[in-house]
Amino acid sequence: MKALVTGGAGFIGSGVVRLLLENGASVRVLDNFSTGWRENLAGLDVDLIDGDVRDRARIADWVDGVDTVFHLAACIGNVKSLGDPWVDSEINVLGTVNLLEAARKAGVKKLVYSSSAATFGELKTMPIAESHPQEPDSPYGVSKLAAEKHCLCFGRIYGMTVVCLRYFNVYGINQRFDAYGNVIPIFAQRLHSVEPLLIYGDGEQTRDFVNVRDVARANWLAATRARASGVYNIGSGESITINLLADLVQKASGLNACAVRRVAPRPGEVRHCKADITSARRDLGFSPDADIYSGLVEYFRWFGASRRQ
What does the angle CA 92 – CA 15 – CA 194 come to, to the nearest 5 degrees?
90
Cβ atoms within 10 Å of 38's Cβ, excluding its own: 12
C-alpha atoms less than 13 angstroms from C-alpha of 92 in its C-beta half-sphere:
28
Residue 210 forms beta bridges with which residues?
170
- C-alpha 13/C-alpha 309 separation (Å) is 22
Check if the beta carbon of residue 150 is closer than 8 Å to that of residue 190.
Answer: no
How open is the CA angle 55-230-135, to the nearest 5 degrees?
80
Instruction: Please return the burial class of 294, using the count of CB atoms within 10 Å of its CB with bins 0-12, 13-18 and 19+.
Output: exposed
Out of 140, 167, 171, 232, pick the active-site residue: 140
Q: State the Cα–Cα distance between residues 187 and 248, nearest whole angstrom.
A: 11
- What dihedral angle (degrees, nearest 10) is formed by the CA atoms of 72, 74, 77, 79? 180
List alpha helices for 70-180, DSSP H: 78-83, 85-89, 95-106, 139-158
SS3 for 214? helix
Q: Extract the runs of DSSP E, i.e. beta strands, from the chain.
A: 2-6, 26-31, 47-50, 68-71, 110-116, 161-167, 169-171, 197-200, 206-207, 209-211, 230-234, 240-241, 260-263
Amino acid 110 reads K
Torsion (CA) 135, 139, 145, 147 in degrees, nearest 10: 170
Annotation marks residue 140 as catalytic:
yes
Positions marked catalytic: 140
